[in-house]
Chain A
Amino acid sequence: MVTMANEWLLLSPAAAFVLAALALFVIDAFAPEDADGGLLAAVAAVGGIAALSASGVLLLSGVAADGVELFGGQLVVDGMSLLFTFIFGSVTALVSVASVDYIRELPHKAEYYLLVTLAATGMSLLASANSLAVVFVALELSSLPSYALVAYLKRNRGSVEGALKYFLVGALSSGIMVYGISLVYAATGSLLLSDVASALGGASADYPGVLGVGLLMIVGGLAFKTASVPFHFWAPDAYEGAPAPVAAFLSSASKAAGFVVAFRVLVVGFPIGTIAGTLDWVLLFQVLAVVTMTLGNFAAATQENVKRMLAYSSIGHAGYALIGLAALTNAGGPGAEATVLGASMLHLFVYGFMNTGAFLFVALVEHWELGRTFEDYNGLGREAPVACVAMTVFVFSLAGLPVGGGFLSKYFLFAGAVGAGVPWLALVGAVNSALSLYYYSRVVKAMWIEPPAEPLGIERYPTALYAAVLTAAVVTVLLLPGLVVFDGIAFEAAASLF
């Protein structure tokens, strides 16, 4: 029996974000023009750290091992939600710290950090959302601040244009999604995932069309959040235009949020066993996964702009993560579904650090105003060796080389796909991964192999940015041996969904 007290205890990670947001309101109200925003960043970072430590404690304490439903089942706190809240917390902390140097000269710092924390709040709610209504509300809560964040450099055409595209595609997608939700409601008469699941049997018999269209549209909305093809179009432009820390935030945390809700909605709300006859969403996700990873990686292969390359690569990684859903056929052996789904969670977990780090490194280079193309990175390794070692760790880990946790998580994913009886999916992933090695190594080549065109003239080394980048790098490396801390959690969390 869950008492009131532990209910709030279980919500403490989300609460941490909310409190941080409120604190930022207050600070902004009393000290409107905080000069360098150090305090604001500190508050936001503390909020993130509090959230991640809270969720970490809850994870290890195991109180929520088999899921605790709150508010009449509207929210559920379980291993998966806590694991992802952990990701959101760490990404928020990293981004907030990094932003200190990035937006030092810019106005409206309070709003910036406020939006970040609010978006994080929405994400942590998404992780726990157990009803389509909450899903939609939390989705919007995390999306709307993101639109504004992308537009933060409001005198920069790229930033504004990115925001516009992000917003318009986002609005369209949310429209599609909510309409889908309404159709599912029409078919099942409920928005609560568990009730939806139990009503599926009858609904798919009576209104297969309504149900199918509805689910397909919901999947569309989720695909937007996870930047999966065909709802990915906003991603490259928004990531390239947005301030680099924001891009890091979106490509890591926001994407993860999309996946966590997708996992829950589909696995809990629409168990493939009962709905396969109406809409075989496993097949649907197989299509999406293949198209997404292929398009992402191939488009990334020929980019001139590092930031845009990372944007496309994050689409590719969305494709990998989709394997988690695409492999949920019953063709696998016992526990195969849990394995591959857990592997997908692990990958998103590691991805949170390595991808954030990579974008933050881009932020660092933008901070130095060296430019964004590969050529601009030439010879950087001699000017800023430490940061470049960190970046090397990020890209190689993204490429699946054993310098960081990305290696293990990616290969866990492929292994899981094989185990789930879809080895061909793993092979597609493998080919894509090899291609990704090509364009990731272009960064390394630029930094270490190519000589600089002219002296880069880097004089100042921003402390906060460095701190964030190095933290991300260290965590990424430690996650290679240290994945042992989280792998059990992930697989159990996945198993508890079925």
Chain B
Amino acid sequence: MVLETVPAEYYLVLSAAVFCIGLFGILTRRNALVFLMSVELLLNAANVNLVAFAFYWGNVTGQTFALFVIALAAAEVAVGIGIVLVVHRNFDDVDVTNATTLKW
């Protein structure tokens, strides 16, 4: 198959790239929803590694765990959206930098 020809390092690079994009989004975007999406990227970057190296090591641990991660990602988003909603209700916006009543 094609996988044999692709060295493991490539997957690392790919996942790292995805991870960095996610981080970039978190650091630059002020919209809570974009923030959530960026977090998804982080998780999926991890998934890439897990799946790839599950193949590399020839055990299913990684793939199984990837499924867990996907599920948890969904749960996280569910809670996240809920919080974003109440934020919007209280601060009339989903800009995460608005809420600054608590500081120092």
- For B65, give the chain A residue with the smallest CB separation: A133
SS class, residues of chain A in contact with chain B: helix
Asked whether any CB of chain A lies closer than 8 Å to the CB of B36, the reply is yes
Within 8 A of A (CB), among B52-87: 52-54, 56-57, 59, 61-62, 64-65, 68-69, 72, 75-76, 79-80, 82-84, 86-87
Nearest to A150 among chain B residues (CB) is: B83
26 residue pairs from A and B, CB less than 8 Å apart: A140-B72, A140-B75, A144-B79, A147-B80, A148-B82, A148-B83, A151-B83, A155-B89, A156-B90, A157-B99, A161-B100, A164-B84, A171-B36, A171-B39, A175-B42, A175-B46, A176-B42, A178-B69, A179-B15, A179-B19, A182-B45, A185-B65, A186-B12, A186-B52, A189-B53, A190-B57
Give the interface SS of chain B, mostly helix, strand, loop or mixed.
helix
Interface size class of B (residues with CB under 8 A): 35 or more
Instruction: Give Cα A336 to B72, complex, Å.
Output: 39
Q: Ordered nearest first, which 3 A-B pairs have the shortest CB separation?
A: A175-B42, A189-B57, A182-B49
A164 to B96, CA, bound (A): 8
Could you list which residues of chain A lie within 8 angstroms of chain B, going by C-beta atoms? 133, 136-137, 140, 144, 147-148, 151, 154-158, 160-165, 167-168, 171-172, 174-176, 178-179, 181-183, 185-186, 189-191, 210, 236-237, 240-241
Contact assessment for A157 and B91 in the assembled complex, using a CB-CB cutoff below 8 Å: yes
Instruction: Tell whether, in the assembled complex, residue A160 and residue B99 are in contact, meaning their CB atoms are under 8 Å apart.
Output: yes
Measured CB to CB, the nearest residue on chain A to B68 is A137
**Told that A161-B101, A174-B72 touch, could you supply 14 new A-B pairs with CB distance under 8 A?**
A133-B65, A154-B90, A156-B90, A160-B86, A164-B96, A165-B102, A167-B80, A172-B39, A179-B45, A182-B45, A185-B50, A185-B53, A186-B49, A190-B57
Q: State the B residues within 8 Å of A (CB).
A: 8, 12, 15, 19, 22, 26, 32, 35-36, 39, 42-43, 45-50, 52-54, 56-57, 59, 61-62, 64-65, 68-69, 72, 75-76, 79-80, 82-84, 86-87, 89-91, 96, 99-103
Known: A137-B68, A189-B59, A237-B102. A160 touches B76 (CB 8 A): no
For A182, the chain B residues whose CB sits under 8 A away are 15, 45-50, 53, 62
Q: Are A165 and B65 in contact (CB under 8 A)?
A: no
Q: How close is A463's CB to chain B, nearest CB, in angstroms?
A: 31
Whole-angstrom distance from the CB of A165 to the nearest CB of chain B? 7
B39 near A186: Cβ-Cβ < 8 Å:
no
Residues in A neighbouring B54, C-beta threshold 8 A: 185
Q: Could you say which residues of chain A place their CB within 8 Å of the CB of B83?
A: 147-148, 151, 160, 163-164, 167
Q: Closest approach, in angstroms, between the C-beta of A237 and any C-beta of chain B?
A: 4
Of A171, A183, A185, the contact of B76 (CB 8 Å cutoff): A171
Query: Is the beta-carbon distance between B102 and A158 smaller than 8 angstroms?
Result: yes
* Residues of chain A lying within 8 A (CB to CB) of residue B59: 189-190
